[in-house]
Structure 1
Amino acid sequence: MDKKIIILGGGSGGIVCANELRKRLSEEHRVMLIDRDESHIFYPSLLWLILGWRKPEQIQRPLSALNKKKVEFIQGEVNGIDLENHLVKVNEQRLNYNYLVVSLGAELNKSGIPKTDRIFNFYCLEGAKLVLEAINNFRGGRIAVLVSSMPFKCPAAPYEIALLLGYFFNKRNLRDKIDIQIFTPETLPMPTAGPVMGNAVKQMIEGQNIGFNPSLKLVSIDADKREIKFEPDRTEKFDMLLVVPPHQSPKVVKESRLAGETGWIPVDAGTMKTKYNGVYAIGDVTSVKLPNGKMLPKAGVFAHYQAEAVAHNIAGEIKGIDSGKEFNGRGSCFLEMGYGKAGYAAGNFYALPEPLIKLHKPGRIWHLGKILFEKYWFWKWF
């Protein structure tokens, strides 16, 4: 009997899951992907766009390209998940499913971020384009990189943007006129990866004369005074502010019975199954507790490998085969620092008693590796 698998979200996890399912299932089974946007953005390249190394059209592809692979793409807003009746509501449509994969990601709450020509959300395409324009006209002062709250996706990004801006202004002979500071609620950079990794990244940024200000809880941003206020009574000035906005679970997830107490979807750490039969969740929308009690970071690499496991297992179940594939907690990321170099961190976040992560020394090979990975991504999945 033919089955219908619906994937909600066209980010890293959704794209991989759709491709892998289509590869493993005959065409009598339908694979559908739904996203509100018409294009898939390769977010790791957003930092390159900020520096003018990429144009918007170079880092995105139309999701309609999946149709030629026999994946049915529907552009629309997911405004309801009916778990009892196995239905999702998209615009005015009600679509039934046999299997559902929720890969809707984390949404950015921009409500507390003032809209001025000095404050930028660099976690979205439109914001990144504005940062490019702003830094080209910046001649001196303090640039603050602010992590509003935790959790947030791509834990390396605030440190990468600070390092890349240091490089950018050094090339323009302006670095000595610009103070770059990072303000974050984290105790160390990327704390889930452990103190060895965190201290190594801290040394990298401080070695480039970038300030690291940890353990700060944001109170407010005053655009007129150009001030950031933290608990209990700390105030910091800025001339340009790059913000990682608060992250939240999508409204449709919070309103469904899938969401846990935090608003994210709790899943089995290996299979990514929810408590509902035939319903899986992958990527940033999930809540995965690690053996040490911390939560798995939100990053595209995890969504990618989780998607592979889910696709294997759904296809296996449809075929009557127990594939037994599980996400094993392994992940990696590049850490761009300019000067044609990048660091590379990789390891096992499910290791006992703590995640086992190694940061490879920054070099040109890792920067080249990211360039090649960008090319591979679009070739492989589109």
Structure 2
Amino acid sequence: MTKSKDSNNDSVVILGGGIGGIAAANRLRRRLGGEHRITLINKYPEFSFAPSYLWVMTGARKASQITKPLSGLQRRGIDLEIGNIEEIDPVERKVTVQGREIYGDHLIVALGADYNAESIPGLADSGTTFATLLGAESLSRSIAEIQRGKVVINTAAALYRCPAAPYESALLIDAMLRRKGIRGRVDIELHAAEPAPLAVAGSNVSEAVKEILHQRSIDYYPSHQITSAENGLLHFSDGQSVSFDLLAYMPPIKPPSVLSTSKLAGSTGWIEVDPNSLLTQFPGVYAIGDNTNIPLQIGKPLPRAGVFAHSQALVVADNIASMIKGDSHTAAFDGHGGCFLESDFHRASYASGNFYAPPSPKVNVKSPSRRSHIAKVVFEYNVMRRWL
């Protein structure tokens, strides 16, 4: 897929087949003629819609309903390469995939983040994560079997993907137990490493989430950093230990391993980018989504969530297309975004606003409603039916 030096047809190589990578590929294909090659590289041949994993946990979705082969991209004129990315050379804009070198005039790095449950001794062996499709399926079975005891939801580090997910999981597990008629026999506790729910969004959002937890009799323990897990016990940095009958957790994250040997990685291990253009320090190389580190004025990074990867993908794709077509128009990512927080089977809250606003993010939260739940269903439909 090397572009010849005398060719006038630009090529774009996208690394990663998550929400950001797929959105960028589709947008570029719509903006550019067929003479410009667009290639997406992903380790696995299938895409699964992570925002719906919790619906798999509740039984509202089957795994097959939120999983599709990436080969659907080929019908849209997008080249697909399946394989492990072994090396990224941002200077040459070269990617090595299982020994094969692939070049692009423009690179978009959208590799996401890797889970790192192993960094907490005993965590993976003691509980089940709702952050993977297999984990969500396993939790669905475990919740169906439980009759009494204690369910503990845990965020194992303050930095993780999708800030709303642990709080959604607690509320949805509560709803599942109420539907079974056994909520009175099962306690639910949420032990979080972070100081407040969705803290980066501001105190009004945090307080709204805490109030919902309180209304549902979910005991909440913030700033509770787990150090290890064993034999039905969680051990925390303050010396306390908590027992559980079922543990559902959000694992810590780490940068994709291929970045550790790439010049793309910054001092944090993540990719540093211009916050508006998503351009890295290397010409023609962009990074979007979870593998980036974008510091906010409050000293915390922009949350790692699919909504931001999606918005950033459209900005980068539009700017690359404009550049190739000789159009002077440029787009900018302005920090706006939002996230759904499912509170039961048919209602969701929605928090949205400007995360780049000085001196701190300006985010508002809507009370749980059926309308917000339907909006998430529509987003799921668009991704699964229109992108693949």
- The TM-score normalised by the length of structure 2 is 0.95
Identity of aligned residues (%): 39
What are the superposed Cα offsets for residues 279-298 of structure 1, whole Å, 9 maximum, x if unpaired?
00000000001133221000
Structure 1: gaps spanning 5 or more residues = none
What are the superposed Cα offsets for residues 135-157 of structure 1, whole Å, 9 maximum, x if unpaired?
11011111111111131111000
- Name segments (4+ residues, structure 1) moved above 4 Å: 115-118
Partner of 2:5: none
Residue pair 2:278, 2:286 contacting (<8 A) in 1 also: yes
**Distance (whole Å) between structure 2 residues aligned to residue 125 and residue 79 of structure 1:** 25
**Against the structure 1 CA distance between its residues 23 and 80, is the aligned structure 2 distance closer, same or farther, given a 3 Å change threshold?**
same
Letter paired with 2:347: K
**Distance (whole Å) between structure 2 residues aligned to residue 164 and residue 262 of structure 1:** 34
Equivalent residue for 2:10, pick from 3, 6, 28: 3
Equivalent residue for 1:130, pick from 130, 135, 138: 138
Question: Secondary structure of the residue that 2:9 maps to in structure 1?
Answer: coil
What are the superposed Cα offsets for residues 133-178 of structure 1, whole Å, 9 maximum, x if unpaired?
1111011111111111131111000000100011110111100111
Equivalent residue for 2:70, pick from 41, 48, 63: 63
Q: How far did residue 117 of structure 1 move?
A: 7.8
What are the superposed Cα offsets for residues 310-350 of structure 1, whole Å, 9 maximum, x if unpaired?
00111111122222201111111111111521111111111
Partner of 2:4: none
Give the alignment of 1:78-227 within 5 angstroms: 78-111=85-118, 112=120, 114=122, 119-222=127-230, 224=231, 226-227=232-233
**Distance (whole Å) between structure 1 residues aligned to residue 31 and residue 223 of structure 2:** 46
Partner of 1:15: 22
Q: How far did residue 97 of structure 1 move?
A: 1.3
**Against the structure 1 CA distance between its residues 113 and 137, is the aligned structure 2 distance closer, same or farther, given a 3 Å change threshold?**
farther
**Distance (whole Å) between structure 2 residues aligned to residue 164 and residue 115 of structure 1:** 22
Give the alignment of 1:268-307 within 5 angstroms: 268-307=274-313
**Distance (whole Å) between structure 1 residues aligned to residue 342 and residue 121 of structure 2:** 26
Equivalent residue for 1:328, pick from 331, 334, 340: 334
Q: How far did residue 232 of structure 1 move?
A: 2.8
Residue pair 1:118, 1:239 contacting (<8 A) in 2 also: no
Residue pair 1:344, 1:366 contacting (<8 A) in 2 also: yes
Q: How far did residue 115 of structure 1 move?
A: 7.6
**Against the structure 1 CA distance between its residues 365 and 254, is the aligned structure 2 distance closer, same or farther, given a 3 Å change threshold?**
same
**Distance (whole Å) between structure 2 residues aligned to residue 327 and residue 298 of structure 1:** 15
Q: How far did residue 83 of structure 1 move?
A: 2.3
Question: Secondary structure of the residue that 1:142 maps to in structure 2?
Answer: strand
Q: CA RMSD in A?
A: 1.3
**Distance (whole Å) between structure 1 residues aligned to residue 10 and residue 317 of structure 2:** 14
**Distance (whole Å) between structure 2 residues aligned to residue 254 and residue 236 of structure 1:** 36
Residue pair 2:10, 2:36 contacting (<8 A) in 1 also: yes
Structure 2: gaps spanning 5 or more residues = 1-7
**Distance (whole Å) between structure 1 residues aligned to residue 299 and residue 123 of structure 2:** 37
Question: Secondary structure of the residue that 1:318 maps to in structure 2?
Answer: helix
